[in-house]
Amino acid sequence: MTQDVEMKDHPTPSHSVSSAVPTTLQHLKEIALLIETGSYSKEVRRIARAVRLTIALRKKLTAPVISSFLDHSLGQGSEAYGRLSVYLPKDDEHDMEVDTATSGSQAPAKHVLPELEIYCYLLVLLYLIDQKRYDEAKACSSASIVRLKNLNRRTIDVLASRLYFYYSYSYELTGNLAEIRGNLLALHRIATLRHDELSQETLLNLLLRNYLHYNLYDQAEKLRSKAPRFEAHSNQQFSRYLFYLGKIRTIQLEYTDAKESLLQAARKAPIAARGFRIQCNKWAIIVRLLLGEIPERTIFMQKGMEKALRPYFELTNAVRIGDLELFKSVAEKFASTFNTDRTHNLIVRLRHNVIRTGLRNISISYSRISLADVAKKLRLDSSNPVADAESIVAKAIRDGAIDATLDHAKGCMLSKETGDIYSTNEPQAAFNSRIAFCLNMHNEAVRALRFPPNTHKEKESAEKRRERQQQEQELAKHIAEEDDDDF
Amino acid sequence: MDPKLLEVSQVFDRFKAALARNDFDTCTNLLSQLKVMLTEFKSLPPLFEKTPNAVHELTLGRDVYEHAVILSVKMEDQDAFERDFFQLKPYYTDARELIPPSPQECPILGLNLLRLLVQNRIAEFHTELELLSPSAMENPCIQHAVELEQSFMEGAYNRVLSARQSVPHETFVYFMDLLAKTVRDEIAGCSEKAYDYLSISDARQTLLFSSDNQLLEYIKEEHPEWEIKNGFVFFQKAKESAPSKEIPSLQLINQTLSYARELERIV
């Protein structure tokens, strides 16, 4: 299921349908039909397709189109119609696009499918958000959530998870995410009890986002580690989850795991979600720097990201050279960017890595150097640079960053000869880890190739099915007869 | 004024007086009384009910826990500190909109950072740090802790120790003393790896002892493997990492077998 849904950081990738021949209303009616059949035959897949088609229509949604669609599907007299039509501007002049022939001839008290009702909520909500009427969007989404709590049908799950997303999104746009945290937690609990995995996935991400919005990393990690985990249903939600996970791990200094999550998130994200991928890349770059790696130049040259990643490129450069002065000036120059990205505290942590890289460069170039010179080269500005340099070098030696010894009496650092790495088991270990990675990748790829359940039955036409059933019946009869013969 | 509120503030006044006298027994008694009394107020966390006296009650509650934290520092009880701090925290985060900020907030947050540093809980240190607003980061008490952490990570231990002279708040001293111990252990660990030997006087200086006897005692207790000869301390360290002569055959066989198994699955 690869539905093309926008990521939060980059809303509305436009892919409007070019042909305007079938009007938007007709499209919507087709979608409604799809939902109806999906609902009757209990096929979640159809509903998912309906949502996908709706997103494609998003650009064309106008008030008259939606109101006549509501008219068509809910009927003027119904309760839901009354609740939803408030959000649409009253407009007597019908748009040219609107197909007036079908509306009006509806039976007033028609039974409305819950799926269709929820779908109408989604439509109105999309419209309100696109019109930037956020307060009304908040009211509308809250109303839809209240309605959703009373419905327990698997066919609604897809629609529900989308509604949850826009519910949180409308509150984020108005800056009161904290208000809905309790509500989201309650919804997550309901979804867990109902085994509604899609909604669980969405809600867990929304909650993580909610916590991280206020830098509540501790709470986010506690929730994440205790929430039930299962195989991801939606690629988008999974890459979001990985991104949040990467962020949490970065803050808690688990850089190796963080790097893995962030890189995977960046790879899994759809191409259209440029903003999201930029965010992933920014964090991944910092984490790699903190790990003492230098990201390749190609990362900064990815299409459409050069400008956004520029500050991080210069930062990487400073770390690579190991120049404290340059590092400081870069950090100051782009302070506002780093503050809005909320990576400032991480950049502060990097100072230590700059010193390490500088020290490593020195230990490679010199076999013997006085500590005063080390301090001068590292540009340590403190009251007692030599003593500082000595303890910094000592710590670097203990952490295994450099291979050297100190001579306290002479005040100098002696670098050791680097041994022949090929005489150790190192290459073997590296080779092994690479092979393991490749094998793992292959296994995951095979697993990802699985087919959605019940697809083979789909191909079987109604006629064939009847035929097969007949055959089975005959066979059963035959066997029964044979059984009778035996006795 | 509400009679209950009055009663609590009276007990609290007695508590404060006892704290000023450093009468810790009375303090702990009164504090447990106070904590029980505070549970009666519905406006306090986690309920946050909007009672008419909410602002008063919240401010009082916050004051009580702030003093509880300071008491725990004075009594040098880190566990009590952690407990009281977590009880105090909701007043700083969730009640931010309800009551005016407290002047004690930054020193106490700084203290907590320092505690995490002393206990070497660096991940939590950074998690707490992320919660601070940019204006709070400018505060000398917070900056002090942040700079300490940086120097500590870099290995500039001199800076950590000299920071003791410039503590921004008198309650910081206790944790700075604890930090000095942590630093000494760190230095010992680093010296062991970095030097082949040190003269006793140099070792005394690097390990921050005032007399040779203290140094010798420390070595006897913490690092009995160090050798003292002719006025020098020799750090015994087996300089291995020699090129491996033998082939780790068992491991290699296991690896090769697993490759074969995986390949079989693919083909």
pLDDT at A13: 40
pLDDT at B246: 72
Task: Give me chain B's average pLDDT, please.
Answer: 84
CATH topology of domain A366-425: Arc Repressor Mutant, subunit A (1.10.10)
pLDDT at B265: 84
Contacts of A405 in chain B (CB under 8 A): 194-196
**Other Cβ atoms closer than 10 A to A221:** 20
Residue A414 near chain B (CB below 8 Å): no
Contacts of A349 in chain B (CB under 8 A): 126, 153
Averages of pLDDT over each 10 residues, chain A, 487 residues: 42 41 78 85 83 84 83 77 77 44 43 82 88 88 87 84 91 88 91 88 93 91 89 86 94 92 91 90 93 88 88 91 88 90 88 87 87 84 80 86 84 79 82 90 82 56 71 73 57
**What is the average pLDDT across B179-193?**
85
Q: Enumerate the domain spans of chain B.
A: 3-196, 197-267
Q: Enumerate the domain spans of chain A.
A: 1-172, 366-425
Tokens of A94: 């019908």
Residue B159 near chain A (CB below 8 Å): yes
Instruction: Decide if A252 and B193 are in contact by the 8 Å CB cutoff.
Output: no
Q: What is the DSSP letter of A341?
A: T
pLDDT at A375: 86
* Cα–Cα distance, B19 to B35 (Å, whole number): 16
pLDDT at A11: 39
Residue B248 near chain A (CB below 8 Å): yes
Tokens of A220: 């986010």
Residue B208 near chain A (CB below 8 Å): no
Q: Are B49 and B42 in contact (CB under 8 A)?
A: yes
Asked whether residue B157 carries a pLDDT value surpassing 70, the answer given is yes
* Cα–Cα distance, A217 to A236 (Å, whole number): 22
Contacts of B186 in chain A (CB under 8 A): 395
| CA atoms within 13 Å, Cβ hemisphere of A35 | 25
Residue A444 near chain B (CB below 8 Å): no
CA trace torsion A23, A25, A30, A36 (10° rounding): 180
Asked whether residue B257 carries a pLDDT value surpassing 90, the answer given is yes
**Other Cβ atoms closer than 10 A to B131:** 16
pLDDT at A107: 42
A76 alpha carbon, distance to own chain's centre: 39
Choosing among A381, A408, A435, A437, which should be mutated to test the B contact, i.e. which has the most B CBs within 10 A?
A408
Residue A215 near chain B (CB below 8 Å): yes
Residue B216 — pLDDT band, cuts 50, 70, 90? confident
CA distance A422 to chain B (A): 9
B54 contact partners, CB below 8 Å, separation of at least 6 = B43, B98
Residue B237 — pLDDT band, cuts 50, 70, 90? low
A-contacting residues in B 169-188 (Cβ below 8 Å): 186-187
- B151: nearest CA in chain A? A352
Contacts of A355 in chain B (CB under 8 A): 154
Contacts of B244 in chain A (CB under 8 A): 423-425
Q: How far lies B264's CA from each of A450, B8, B250, in Å?
A: 20, 76, 21
Burial of B45 per CB tally in 10 Å (0-12, 13-18, 19+): middle
Strand partners, A326: none
Which amino acid is residue A262, in one-letter code? L
Strand partners, B228: B233
Residue B260 near chain A (CB below 8 Å): no
Name the residue with tokens 């210069």: A314
pLDDT at A247: 94
CA distance B55 to chain A (A): 21
Q: Which of A380, A419, A432 sits opposite B243 (nearest CB)?
A: A419
pLDDT at A434: 92
Residue B244 near chain A (CB below 8 Å): yes
B201 alpha carbon, distance to own chain's centre: 31
Burial of A441 per CB tally in 10 Å (0-12, 13-18, 19+): exposed
pLDDT at A48: 84
CA distance B155 to chain A (A): 5
Choosing among B98, B121, B157, B258, which should be mutated to test the A contact, i.e. which has the most A CBs within 10 A?
B157
Instruction: Decide if A395 and B159 are in contact by the 8 Å CB cutoff.
Output: no
Instruction: Decide if A406 and B195 are in contact by the 8 Å CB cutoff.
Output: yes
pLDDT at A450: 67
CA dihedral sign of residues B244, B247, B252, B254: negative
Contacts of B189 in chain A (CB under 8 A): 398
Selected from 1.25.40.990, 1.10.1040.10, 3.90.330.10, 3.40.640.10, the CATH number assigned to the domain covering B3-196 reads: 1.25.40.990
